[in-house]
A and B are shown apart, each in its own frame.
Chain A
Amino acid sequence: MKETTDFLYPFIEGDETDATALLVDLAQSAEEKWAVSTELKVVTLARVEEQLRTIAALMAERFAAGGRLFAFGNGGSATDADGVAQLYTRPPSGRALPARSLVEDRAVITALGNDVGYDKIFSRQLIAHARAGDMAIGYSTSGNSENLLVAFAEARKRGLLTIGFAGIDGGRMGVDPNVEHCMIVLSQSVHRVQETQASATHVLWSYVQEALAARN
């Protein structure tokens, strides 16, 4: 951003007073970034459609058999996990399904982080709650979050279906055998990765709903 726009503003010393040119530039920048985000979404969803269909079919089977979905992530990805729990349990349409975010309970998170270690804040919760037939979905933009990899290992050991949403080049999640299905958004921008992950989350959810409806 800075490199490409500096020439427009010869007021680096702080004596710039008219915001008109900046406002034009901000609006233009917003439009450009929006277009990049839309392009990444379209390209990614086309590339991963079959993968999302496959995951959705497996999830529908598990939901139908009483399985539950556990979602987790750090930072902005933690809010994605919260969003997943809300979407599955209180959907705008379709069936409500059992899902929980492992970042929602601050007492548990801080207890585990303080007493056991931040790398185990999700895996310890899976030990307490998860059983074979459940599902684990973890969000990371880098694909390298240690506590996700520890959680996926625990989830696999317990017979959960493991799903990763990663970005950049997939990072460690992209090559970890404990992440059975890793959906990767190929972009170097954390923001653009999260935006397409949000879209893919919605597509996956709609495929799960379709698969469940098709069973009846």
Chain B
Amino acid sequence: MTEIAAVAEDLGRASLALARRFNAGATMWCTSPSWPFHASHVAVEFVHPVIVGKRALAAVTVPIGADVVATLRANVRPGDIVVALADSDDPQVVDAMRRGEAWGVETLWIGAGGERPRSGSADHVIWLDTDDPLEASECFVRIYHLLWELTHVVFEHPGLLKDDPNGVVCTEEVCITCSDEGRLTEVVSVAGDEAVVKALGIEERIDISLIDPPAPGDLVLVHAGFAIR
């Protein structure tokens, strides 16, 4: 059986982040295009706790067969959580995860075997070292059970629920956290040299004359009102 030691710290950090997000009112969106039953299990675990007295948390499954990105784009609010159980080459999950920054969501990617998602693909990656699909499936059940159990352990530490290092939101004209690189936004519509883009739930009109014309849904980096990439 796969050993837990390699991912125990990742699991702990993810649980702390989830508890903080839930505490601030997050909804957790669960998706697994290849194994939809796992996504359903994660959601029911958090909504309907097996231990009486534990609080019900807002978790929901992206409907089986639904367009993952379209469903999330329409529904997620900044501060939400997206959890995916998927291989690193699952096209729908790859596409959803790279939009996490623009949507303002905390992303957790759970998987096993093959290539690990490239660094920075998600806020949290829990990757198990097995290429056996059935063993991986058994490990997934353990991982999300532990995720639930540890998230509730964090709730017993109210002082630690407030300190969210990822909670920085750009509100000023010049953002000190991203002024050098720009902010990742998602294109809503394009008209000539201008586009409406959306980031962290807020739409703004930007100049796109410096880049090749983007299409709705594309991700563009915005700096001082201009798309720069």
Contacts and interface: CB of A to CB of B under 8 A. Distances in A.
Contact of A30 (B11, B133, B154): B11
- Say whether chain B's binding surface is mostly helix, strand, loop, or mixed: helix
Contact of B149 (A9, A33, A199, A206): A33
Interface in A4-41: 5, 9, 11, 13-17, 19, 22-31, 33-35, 37-38, 41
Which of B1, B4, B36 counts the most A-chain CB atoms under 10 A from its CB? B4
A190 B154 CA distance: 20
Contacts of B5: 31
Contact of B141 (A1, A14, A24, A195): A195
Interface residues of B, number: 38
A86 B37 contact: yes
A115 to B, nearest CB: 24
A202 B139 CA distance: 12
B160 A26 contact: no
A23 B9 contact: yes
B153 A1 contact: yes
Interface in A52-107: 75-76, 78-80, 82-83, 86, 92
Which of B37, B40, B50 counts the most A-chain CB atoms under 10 A from its CB? B37
- Say whether chain A's binding surface is mostly helix, strand, loop, or mixed: helix
Contacts of A78: 40, 44
Which of A17, A24, A41, A191 counts the most B-chain CB atoms under 10 A from its CB? A191
Interface of A: 1-2, 5, 9, 11, 13-17, 19, 22-31, 33-35, 37-38, 41, 75-76, 78-80, 82-83, 86, 92, 141, 190-191, 194-195, 198-199, 202, 206
Contacts of B141: 194-195, 198
Contacts of A27: 8-9, 11-12
B94 interface: no
A26 B154 contact: yes
Nearest to B15: A26
Contact of A79 (B8, B41, B133, B154): B41
A83 B39 CA distance: 11
A202 B134 contact: yes
B229 to A, nearest CB: 35
